[in-house]
């Protein structure tokens, strides 16, 4: 009889230990990272870092946040406005000595990301901000993962 009780008690203790261990492991174990949330956060960080780089006049840093195609599109765009530039950082430097700098700064200071949608290695980011004290309608920016990093892509 003692053997049966000891065996039953041992089994009960084993069940209690296993149950408490599995509960503790679940409570203490970090949640598995959500790849979709990580991608959205990375896209958001790229965009806000880009805006901060422009505010700091870190034009090479801002250009590093762009895809090669987006950087080329920027240079082409400023050249069509008779602003000479051969590189992305030259294009930003030229833009930021014009009267547009105040508007660009206000927009970058007030930017607020409202949505990020990721689909594989492409993403769409929506943001708002203000210019001359007026709220901008929601703006959309594309992003693309290049070499493991998210970068701002041309609008197409």
| pTM of the complete model | 0.75
Domain boundaries, the chain: 35-153
Determine the distance from the C-alpha atom of residue 48 to the mean position of all C-alpha atoms in its chain, rounded to a whole number: 7
**What is the CATH number assigned to the segment(s) 35-153?**
3.10.450
State the average pLDDT over residues 87-103: 89
The more confidently predicted of residues 3 and 94 is 94
Measured between alpha carbons, how far is 134 from 151 in angstroms, rounded to an integer?
28
59 Cβ neighbours under 8 A, 6+ residues apart = 53, 88, 89, 90, 92, 93, 96
**What is the spatial distance between Cα 47 and Cα 50, in angstroms, rounded to a whole number?**
5
pLDDT digits (tens, 9 = 90+) for 100-139: 888 889 888 999 999 999 999 999 999 999 988 899 999 9
The DSSP H or E segment spanning 135 is strand 134-135
Helix (H, G, I), strand (E, B) or coil at 149: strand
């Amino acid at each position: 009889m003692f053997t049966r009780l000891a065996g039953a008690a041992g089994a009960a203790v084993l069940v209690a230990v296993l149950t408490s261990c599995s509960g503790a492991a679940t409570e203490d174990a970090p949640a598995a990272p959500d790849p979709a949330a990580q991608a959205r956060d990375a896209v958001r960080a790229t965009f806000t870092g880009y805006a901060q780089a422009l505010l700091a006049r870190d034009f090479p840093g801002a250009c590093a946040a762009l895809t090669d195609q987006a950087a080329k599109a920027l240079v082409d765009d400023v050249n069509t406005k008779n602003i000479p530039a051969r590189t992305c950082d030259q294009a930003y430097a030229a833009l930021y000595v014009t009267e547009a700098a105040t508007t660009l700064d206000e927009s970058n200071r007030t930017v607020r990301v409202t949505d990020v949608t990721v689909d594989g290695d492409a993403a769409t980011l929506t943001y708002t901000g203000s210019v001359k004290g007026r709220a901008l309608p929601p703006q959309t920016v594309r992003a693309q993962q290049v070499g493991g990093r998210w970068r701002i892509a041309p609008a197409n």
